Each structure stands twice: as C-alpha cells, then as structure tokens.
Amino acid sequence: MVLCAVAVSAVAFGEIKIRCDYPGGNVKVVKIDEAGGVVSVAPDLRDTQGKWFHWNFTLSGAAGKTLHFQFPKNHYPYLTSLGPAISRDGGTTWRWLNADGKRHEPNNAFDYTFGADENETRFAVAIPYTQKEWDAASARWRGKEGVKFDVLCKSQSGKRDTELLRIPCRKGKAKWIFAFTARHHACEVTANPVMEGIIDEILSDSKEGGWIRDNADCVFIPFMDKDGVEDGDQGKNRNPHDHNRDYIEGRYTSVRAFKELLVRESVGKTIVFFDLHSPFVRGSTRSPQQDSVFTFASTNEQQNKHVDAFRKNWAEATKDGLLVYNGKFDQRAGKGQEARLEKARKSGLLTSRHWVESLPNCYSSICCEFGYSLCGGVYSRESGRGLGHSLLKAAVHTVTESAGK
C-alpha cells in the first residue's frame, strides 16, 4: 500500500494501523507492506526548510509480529545513537530500543518484535515532552512557598497559553535575575527535564537553593514554541526563520514577550541566562559532541570569563551524576564565532543568547545542549533532572565566587 508520503493522523492497512493524533505526534506514512513485514515512514517536515528528524507515532495491530521500520534511504540520520524511544503504555513510560547503551546501526532503520499481547506501541525519535509532562511536574511545585504560575503570552496561533513559572526573591529585593528558556525549537525534548531539575533544586533545602531564593528572581519559560510542541512540529529552521533566530524581527509572540519581560524585570539586577536545547539527533566520528552535554561561549570577553568559570563548576558538580558534563565538546570563543554573530546580525537572524549577552546588565548568557539519547550517559527524564540539579548548583557557585561571597 503506497500512500505517497502523506502526513496522516491515522492510516490503516489490513490489521496494521498507524496514528499520530495526539500532542507531539508526527509521521508521514510512505508504505505499509504487511505481507513483507516492512513499514516505511518519514518525518513530516511541515514548514521546516531542508531536512530534520522529529517523528512520533503509534502502531497497533501487529501483536506477535516482527516488523522492519524503514526511514528514507538518503544517508540522513533519523534515529538516535540508541535507536528509537519506545512506550507500551500510551507514552507514560519510555525505554530505548538499545537500553543497554550499545550504539544502534543503521541510522535510518530498525526492527521490532511485538509481544503476543502488545496491541499498541508508541515509537518516537526521542523521549517526548509536552504539556502533559509539564503539568505532571508542576503538581510537585504547586503549594510551594513563593512559586507563582503565570502566562507569558498567548501562543502564535492564539489558541494556547505560553506558560511562565516564577520563583521571586523571598527577601523582596533581588540583586540577580535568573532566566531559563526551553523549546525555542519545538522538537528539542531533552531540555525540559533539565529545567525541572533546576526548579527542584531551587525549591530544595540545599545551600544553593537557599542562596538563590534569598538573592534572585527566577523565571522559567518551558515552551517558547508552544504550538510547535503540541502540534508535533520540527520547529527547527522554520520558514522564514525559527523562534531562536527571531531576536531582531520579533515575529513570534513568545519572543517579543520574553524580551519585554527580561528588559522590564531586570532593572537594577544582574542577568544570568540559560537557553536549553537539544543538538543534532546523533553523534558521529565527525561530530561526537551530539552525544554529549556541551555549551556555547560568549563573544563578550568579560562574560566569557564567567562562562568558563561556570563550566569548571558544572564539570565538578556532575562528576558523580548519571549524566556527566566534562566540557570536552564546548564551543569556544574566537574569531570564527564573532564572524558568525556579525553575519547573523546582518541577515536579521539573532539568537536568544546573543541578544541577552548584548544587554548592559548581563553577567552571562549560555546556551546548553543535551544529547537526545546518549548525553554523557544514557538519557532519561530522571537523568536529565539530575543535570538540572547540578547546573543550578554550578551557576550559584559561579556568581557567588565572582562576587566574593
């Protein structure tokens, strides 16, 4: 059965049915060869320019069978280094196909044997994170002293709220403002559990959590591209540009609102900014950093000293964690980066971290990347939260050391 690679909410052929009619869902069905046991699929790129790799679908009607899943044979990777993420309970819990941490090959196909009673299975390029998961995490923080749930703005479509979580300074007058954003690119799912861990650490009884609640206002925006997250878009390289290339033009409601918020609420305070991302889908010999944790340097000389101090503190804070950051793959400052920044400005495409670092009261503006499956260890929501705990501790140590406190 050939379906001409059309995007679908549900397609059935014989007993096999494929659907993606839920938050984060995305697939194009190319062909279902039930007799041969081959299912050919591809990501639905929608308004993304070029190629990208986000997909998430549910298959039913294959109990007891072994199927071969084939993505386009064009030498472009569609699978992480551990293969697909798999859920048998409708997306509540997930495991990697290669749960043992062994690298999966090839990068565009996998086989799966369904149990005799396995009537519906969800497959995704990575462990998904949508409004449902954020709401579950928020339940931990509701009722906690000082936590305020707010709305940054309406999403681009006007159909949804773009969430804003605040933890104001409990002493009333903050010297610092810590701002955290995620999902400038809708498909970059590893960022949100890290954000959860940061919030958990701030609200904990740790020394670092106590310091930040006494000295800083904290703001969190979990979904900068809220529509894209829920609709299952790629988000990266949108036409004409994505959310994280919008810090000059301001075509997106969330970008305009975040810029206004940070300028307004940082008056008399020093800014520490973290933008949380996922990199490319898998590492390779030429780009091993994609299976790790890494950061980008600042083009501001003084701020870059703060970035380097943070990196040193973060490496120390993660050394006993489930996921380890060692700084090996960090993007360093240099003339090449300055040239790219100037090119971005001239083309009208500026990122969030570059815009924030240009503000006169910015202490540091850091973009962090967290690999999809291998991330200094095997990625899970739990291990991602651990990275958030260590990131917050390292950030507090950095600012207190430089302030002599």
The reported pLDDT for the residue numbered 2 is 33
**pTM recorded for the entire structure:** 0.95
Fold of 2-124: Immunoglobulin-like (2.60.40)
Fold of 131-402: Aminopeptidase (3.40.630)
Q: pLDDT digit string (tens) for 173-193?
A: 999 999 999 999 999 999 999
- Cα distance between residue 146 and residue 174, in whole Å: 14
Q: pLDDT digit string (tens) for 340-390?
A: 777 777 777 899 999 999 999 999 999 999 999 999 999 999 999 999 999
- Cα distance between residue 246 and residue 366, in whole Å: 17
Q: pLDDT digit string (tens) for 125-154?
A: 999 999 999 999 999 999 999 999 999 999
Strand order in the sheet with 293-295: 148-154, 161-167, 216-221, 176-182, 270-277, 362-370, 293-295
Per-residue confidence at 334, pLDDT binned at 50, 70, 90?
A: low
Domain boundaries, the chain: 2-124, 131-402
Same fold yes or no, 2-124 and 131-402: no
Residue 23 has φ and ψ, to the nearest 5°, of: -55, 130
- Cα distance between residue 62 and residue 118, in whole Å: 8
